[in-house]
Amino acid sequence: MPLRLPKSSWSTTELEDLRELSRSFLQKEAVPHQERWAAEKKVDRELWTKAGDVGLLCLSIPEEYGGGGGTFAHEAVLYEEQARAGDSAWGVTVHNGIVAHYLLAYASEEKKREWLPKLASGELVGAIAMTEPGTGSDLQGIKTRAVLDGDHYVLNGAKTFITNGFHAGLVIVACKTDPDAGAQGVSLIVVETDSPGFRRGRVLDKVGMKGQDTAELFFDDVRVPAANLLGDTEGQGFVQLMLQLPQERLIIAVTAVAGLEAAVDLTLEYTKERTAFGRPIFSFQNTKFTLAEAATEAAVARAFLDQCIERHLKGELDVQGAAMAKLWTTERVNKVIDDCVQLFGGYGYMTEYPIARAWADVRISRIFGGTSEIMKEIISRSL
């Protein structure tokens, strides 16, 4: 029997209908392909257009730009169902919840009407390139340069760990337009990947999330129209990143909590069916106590997440609140899934079991979107 948690306070009948659509789509188009995608290190390109056909792309982008006209709650429903389906391959959170919103917030009206409908249909796959081989969390230390030459920027540099990097048709690139100005010298420029000088490197071999295409990207004298700069002037990139990162961190929290709940459900089912010493594993006190703690962790994480989603829907979730959500939920899901693996015994270490894949997949959640240590630093500034 699965966890019996109250329905989220922000849920509506419309959102529950979307949940059913998301669940059926993922069960048909994602779940059967997990092993193949993991081996190939990427999803099928057709997955994006199929998702666009049924209306699952750009759910929270206004209809005038081809989107679904919904809110973050619509996105959260899709991301929860993806986590519960055990799919970590499809980079829809980056495409929908991050890339599309940078364009909506900062691109010119002309560029919004050019790019957003293509993201919504799946004609374009979106990526955002911040991390570089030598920078990690230090966004002020990026080396990728963009130099204005007439009505074009010329980009040079390299990026790594880029989600959707293999399939991306459009990449938002964090670069330095003034290398001597620190954070004030960072700009965001959109690169269309059919531009001469753009090339993709390796699709990276990761510990988990093996089916998600995570690639190296290289920019060798790539000429980009000056109109592809996000914002009115150069040097706004760092502020734009700081304004958008809270939603990115809330997205990570959404998937963490849904993954935590799914792990507890899997383990409850397994321990009630699996026997040892002539009785179900669940009947042992250690199992019951471990799962009692896990169920409590899930209930507390869900309550906190729902509160954060409500605040975000009202425009009230601040940088510190989003950092708390990411820190707490990712640390808790890692602990709980590790405890669940222990209850599976040796089978918990076999990748044919969803709990083993979840254990490997979830470890990155304490690193990407800002490490747990960075979250603590952000939170401490408000104390």
Which residues is 192 bridged to in the sheet? 170
Tell me, what DSSP letter sits at residue 230? S
From 248, 269, 293, 373, active-site residue: 248
Residue that has been written with the tokens 């306070």 in this structure: 9
Residue 49 is encoded by which pair of tokens?
């257009």
- Angle CA(102)–CA(103)–CA(105) in degrees, nearest 5? 65
269 is catalytic: no
Rounded to whole angstroms, the Cα distance separating 186 from 170 reads 19
Q: In this structure, are residues 240 and 186 in contact, taking their beta carbons and an 8 Å threshold?
A: no
How does strand 152-163 pair with strand 214-225? Answer: antiparallel
The rounded distance, in Å, linking the Cα atoms of 76 and 163 is 19
258 DSSP assignment: H
Residue 229 CA to residue 110 CA, distance in Å, equals 12
Distance, CA of 294 to CA of 292 (rounded, Å): 5
Q: Count other Cβ atoms within 10 Å, centred on residue 26.
A: 22
Catalytic residues: 248
